[in-house]
Amino acid sequence: METLNLPGPLARAIIERDRAVISPSYPRSYPFVMDRGRGSLVWDVDGNRFLDFAAGIAVVSTGHSHPEVVKAIQDQAEKFIHISSDFYHPKWVNLGEELSRIAPFSEPAISFMTNSGTESVEAAIKLARYYTGRSQFIGFLGGFHGRTMGAVTFTASKPTYHKGFYPLMNGVVHAPFPDPYRPLLQIRPGEDYSFNRRFDRPFSNIDELCHRVVAALFDFRFHAGHRYRGHHSHYHRDDGAVVH
């Protein structure tokens, strides 16, 4: 099989230009310079073809440049591209109604639209403090929630995200997430960290904390790639919040 010499000359040139004008804070994990994409395939500026297993970092779940998505964007751009949230428009209401319809709880949903995950986390921090009147939060070790100041305080996936930014937001503590496959606590003789011990008991304690002192519990499981079976609905309390 042919071994490609990557990045190619056009990609190397663009990367050099990037270094001169773009902030080095972006975590570039691979020298890939994208030209176009279609479905699960992407091409770089030198014409090399790749399979995108990350779906554009989990954003393009329908694949790159899906015809229906492209058509919807084109249709909207012909009407208007932006309008302030000081006003109304029907697509915004349509989206809110659809989110309420598919929300995983019985009560009607009221949605706050944001531009990114980290903006959503910042909004959740403010909402939790405003609604509960509390200032304490629980996050989980290994979680990633974003890089803005409030969100990065909850992020605990890599120490480098905190380096140079102390002091971070007050009132945030981190706990190990109950994971029976990679337990952080050593198994005691005669015991195992089965589902009941590692999931039910720790979360019952956290639930009690949410009832008494915690404004919100930040659960990283979806963004960080974790998939846990079981019900989390009993952590959604009227006097607290769980942020997924």
**Quick one: how far is CA 134 from the chain centroid?**
24
Residue 202 host element (H or E): helix 201-212
DSSP sequence for 26-48:
S---S---EEEEEBTEEEETT--
pLDDT at position 27, please? 82
The strand pairing partners of 39, in sequence order, are 64
| Judgement on whether residues 131 and 227 belong to the same structural domain of the protein | yes
Token pair for 136: 């304490």
Q: Is residue 87 part of a domain?
A: no
Residue numbers of the domain that contains 42:
9-64
This prediction has a pTM of 0.75
pLDDT at position 170, please? 93
Q: Is residue 130 part of a domain?
A: yes
pLDDT at position 108, please? 87
Kindly provide the b/e burial profile for residues 112-143, where b requires at least 16 CB atoms within 10 angstroms of the residue's own CB.
Answer: eeeeeebebbbebbeebbeebebebbbbbebb
| Judgement on whether residues 120 and 196 belong to the same structural domain of the protein | yes
| Judgement on whether residues 49 and 123 belong to the same structural domain of the protein | no
Domain total of the chain: 2
Please identify every stretch of the chain with a pLDDT value under 70, giving residue numbers as ranges: 1, 3, 180, 182-244
Instruction: Tell me the pLDDT of the chain averaged across its residues.
Output: 81
Q: Measure the CA–CA gap between 112 and 96, rounded to whole angstroms.
A: 9
Strands (E), 141-193: 172-175
Separation in Å, CA 231 to CA 79, 136, 235: 43, 24, 9
Q: Is residue 110 part of a domain?
A: no
